[in-house]
Chain A
Amino acid sequence: MSFINKPRVSHPSSPVNALGLTRRQYEGSMSTLCAGCGHDSITAALIEACWGLDMRPEQVVKLSGIGCSSKTTAYFVSGGHGFNSVHGRMPSIASGANAANRDLTYVGVSGDGDSLSIGLGQLVHAIRRNVNMVYVIENNGVYGLTKGQFSASADIGSQAKKGDVNQSPPIDPVLLALSLGATFVARSFSGDKAQLVPLIQAGIRHRGFALIDVLSPCVTFNDHEGSTKSYSFTREHYHAAVEADFVPPAQQIAVDYPLGESLPVLLHDGSRVILRKLEATYDPTDRAAAYSYIENKLKQNEYVTGLIHINESGSTEFHTLNKSSAVPLNRIPYEKLVPGAAALEKLLTRYR
């Protein structure tokens, strides 16, 4: 970990967002992760994303399970509530919290152990329930806090620091999410902030479950020769297919996109994601095509990154299906919830 405490006060010339807040005001407590950890870069991207979206800090709810990745919810947006729950069970906490108040922004941060082993069931069902949240998997193929065991995302043939070679096939969260009908599926790399920040912003504005798998090398246990989740391996093998630019509602699209290569997608709040297709034939709105494309690339040892799939219909989002009141459930006055004495008396005739 780093031992240099950053001052809370920022330089007067630091840029501010629409709320008059500096980036510094979206930071959290100091990271206790290893110096050079990919997770810290993702934290920085989350800070940038929230600052850039002009989010009121208290509107951000940060949720996590257990593990190195799950600690990071303490490291950004200190003005928002955080909930570091139990191992693999963050999706249920997020589901309940979201059920109670549909107005807040829910950012879940998890790891490959937390999400793909102990918490696989909860992840799968949160996707199925289509809870409106961003779910970031900080994926490093290894258990850090317990010192270097393979996780369920470790590739066949990947070598552990102590020499063991992984034999079991990996669970790929992107393929998993696609197969489950997730409405927003993205992959990125902790070292590519330019790609990651707009993905997070689009994920936040997407109505429904937004899964972002972020390859995030573990400098201590999985950054060696023979690892397929090291910085060098990832840099060599990641392959951007669809870059996403995030454009807030009021903003004009400033860049000229070549016709046929860009695909604007309108999000429910009026903001847009402009998908820049680096592969001309790739269609991120076609789930089946996306699935086979990713799978083929994986066979060639290539991690496709970018906004892999998006479906902005919002029709299966939890509250939409539940026909929940527009007023969050936790803010409905008690008087509107209780049928009262007269209704009870009337009801009792059913039981006489």
Chain B
Amino acid sequence: MPSVATAPERVNDFVVKFANVNGTGSASANALIMKAIFRMGVPVTGKNYFPSNIQGLPTWYEIRVTREAYAARAGRVDIMVAMNAETYSKDVREVASGGYLIYDATWPRSTLLERGDITVIGVPLAQLVNTNFEGVRNRILFKNIAYAGVVARLLNLDLQIINGLLRESYGKKPKLLDSNSKALRLGYDYAQQHLQCPLPLRVEHMDKTRGHIMIDGNTAAGLGCVYAGATVGAWYPITPSTSLMDAFKGFCERYRVDPATGERNFAVIQAEDELAAVGMVLGASWNGARAFTSTSGPGISLMNEFVGLAYYAEIPCVIFDVQRVGPSTGMPTRTQQADIMECAYASHGDTRHVLLFPSNPEECFYMAVQAFDLAERLQTPVFVLSDLDIGMNDWMCRDLNWNDAYRPDRGKVLSAEELAALDKFFRYLDRDDDAITYRTLPGVSPKGAYFTRGSGHNQYGTYTEDSAEYQAVLDRLKRKFSTAVKYVPKPELIGKGDNRIGIVSIGSCDGAVREAIDVLAREKIHVDYLRIKAFPFGHDVENFLSAHSTIVVVEQNRDAQLRALLTLETAVEKSKVQSILSYSGLPMSCEPIVDGIRAALAEAPRFSAVTAKSPR
């Protein structure tokens, strides 16, 4: 039976990983643990590594308890709750030396003693549950809650908080509440009676989650679309973006249905494919509604033709790309940032598009709103490049705030009165000399009518095959893209202006980069960090690139796409730009960044004085 060794105490700083079989109901047990830790005031992250499958394949859930509130994956596992026999031997290997393994001891395991450097804790979970619950489905489900009870006791979680969470979930279903409480108690009491509790790795109350929420990026983005005033969402189901449109629809059903008439102030259209989805967005935006689609890489590939039309005919269009692992179908349930180039230059011909890079769910909310303002101000497609890690995992974020004074920027749209005052309306005439022309909406005035086309057109909006007329429009579009710099969010600069090494990164790398900077600072290595929030890049990006001797671009793809975009779209010397790449499909952890920066310093002779001190 289990023996618990005495290990050094690690309060509020460790990783618990749950190895489960998908479709067995483990998600609610794991979420219960995570939420309980959060409610104890302790910062926490939860990362779900799940298969592209409904039932029967391995799935893992990783909870990082992090008193420093790091957002990244930890890159190590201190406690493994090994509930999947199929992955058992792999799971055992993953536990860090000195760590713990919890397993179901109902059946003997021959491989148990493979490792002498970890503590193995056996709990006869199946036996406990089988003697207390009837029915196969119940037994499978409640075994999860039972191990949650064990873990809760071992980690010293607040039982009152857990019971409160159960009441919130099942308050309206007393039978379910009873069963869940009973299962939790089975595990909790077993641990209390048979195991040395708590473990040296444990949770103690803090006060660091006040003013924060746990939310995933797709939910936050969907909510952002509601607050932006979007009324039409058109989409085709694809992992990992599906929950974005689901969230939008859910919020609309809550906030946009007239209680008296049942009339709905929104339309969510499930299209036949992504080509149609983005076509509907174009049709609706062209007709004056705020419209958007949510998709992932394969969907972007299909949308390319319409994106080119939107660019050339200057139709606002908001596209959320919740990136997953490519190429092709790739690994649909794993994360990556590999659509950067695809989105930046989507479609044939000379096209360039505005990109936004949220780094967490909080930014998904605000950038969703910004995306609509930008799309309508600039009359062009705007991509919000989220990813699976941001989109589908719960992140601890600051409370979302809303300013009731906000009004959408609908851009240059002429009213009937403004049209009446005009001598004649020309769709693509640069009246304000800012490369952004005026548009009109159908149904407003016959004076505003024009013919929208993807074929060659001149500034008057009529068909042309005249070289000079064609070029004049194309050149204006280029100027318009440059002016976008004025409107897109500025990058975030962190650091003391040290001019040796500058890290440049985007999106969900942010947590890992910040953590790496802290680790390096403890070694007296100081680096600056520029987090880019949008493309096109502005002066701040140019200045940062030129101010640092070495630029290290951190991103999650194989081909260094952000680096490529920087070298194409800024004046930076290619030779001074290095890469730290992570493209395993797992969210980035800080280790490769720490190692990469050390290596960059070691390689550069002029930095040798700095790296003389041996790291760690």
Binding site for B on A (CB under 8 A): 56-59, 61, 63, 73-74, 78-86, 89, 91-101, 103-104, 121-122, 124-125, 129, 319, 322-326, 329-332, 334, 336-341, 343-345, 347-348, 351-352
Contacts and interface: CB of A to CB of B under 8 A. Distances in A.
B256 A101 contact: no
Q: Which of B277, B279, B287 has the most CB of A within 10 A?
A: B287
A337 B214 contact: no
B264 to A, nearest CB: 5
Contacts of B213: 348, 351-352
A96 B284 contact: yes
A344 B400 contact: yes
3 nearest CB pairs, A to B? A96-B283, A92-B279, A79-B446
Contacts of A332: 231, 265
Interface in B207-261: 213-215, 223, 226-227, 229, 231-232, 234, 251, 255-256, 258
A322 B289 CA distance: 16
Q: Which of A79, A124, A341, A352 has the most CB of B within 10 A?
A: A352
Interface residues of B, number: 70
Interface of B: 38-39, 213-215, 223, 226-227, 229, 231-232, 234, 251, 255-256, 258, 262-267, 269, 271-273, 275-289, 291, 305-306, 309, 399-404, 406-408, 440-446, 448-455, 463
A326 B229 CA distance: 17
Contacts of B455: 84
18 contacts: A61-B287, A83-B283, A93-B279, A95-B234, A95-B279, A95-B283, A96-B285, A99-B267, A99-B289, A100-B231, A100-B291, A101-B288, A325-B263, A326-B263, A329-B231, A334-B408, A337-B256, A338-B227
Contacts of B264: 322-325
A336 B265 CA distance: 9
Q: Which of A56, A100, A326, A334 has the most CB of B within 10 A?
A: A100
Contacts of B255: 339, 343
B404 A340 contact: yes
Q: Which of A58, A59, A79 has the most CB of B within 10 A?
A: A58
A58 B445 contact: yes
A83 B285 CA distance: 13
B401 A99 contact: no
B227 A100 contact: no
Contact of B442 (A58, A326, A339, A344): A58
A84 B454 contact: yes
Dominant SS among interface residues on chain A: helix
Given A86-B305, A340-B404, A348-B213, A99 B449 contact: no
B244 to A, nearest CB: 16
A105 to B, nearest CB: 9
A85 B282 CA distance: 10
Nearest to A101: B287
Contacts of B305: 86, 89
Nearest to A21: B446
Nearest to A81: B442
B442 A92 contact: no
A339 B282 CA distance: 25
Contacts of B288: 100-101, 330-331
Contact of A58 (B449, B451, B452): B449
A334 B404 CA distance: 11
A86 B276 contact: no
A100 B232 contact: yes
A59 B443 contact: yes
Given A86-B309, A96-B282, A322-B267, A122 B451 contact: no
Contact of A92 (B280, B287, B406, B450): B280
Q: Which of B215, B283, B401 has the most CB of A within 10 A?
A: B283
Nearest to A28: B451
Contacts of A89: 275-276, 279, 305-306
Nearest to B233: A99
B452 A82 contact: yes
Contacts of A340: 402, 404
A329 B291 CA distance: 10
A338 B449 contact: no
B279 A122 contact: yes
B454 A341 contact: no
B16 to A, nearest CB: 21
Contact of A337 (B38, B231, B263): B231
A339 B255 CA distance: 6
B454 A97 contact: no
Contacts of B291: 96, 99-100
A144 to B, nearest CB: 16
Nearest to B451: A82
A59 B445 CA distance: 9
B402 A97 contact: no
B292 to A, nearest CB: 11
A338 B283 contact: no
Given A58-B449, A95-B279, A338-B406, 5 more contacts: A83-B283, A96-B283, A96-B285, A100-B287, A344-B400
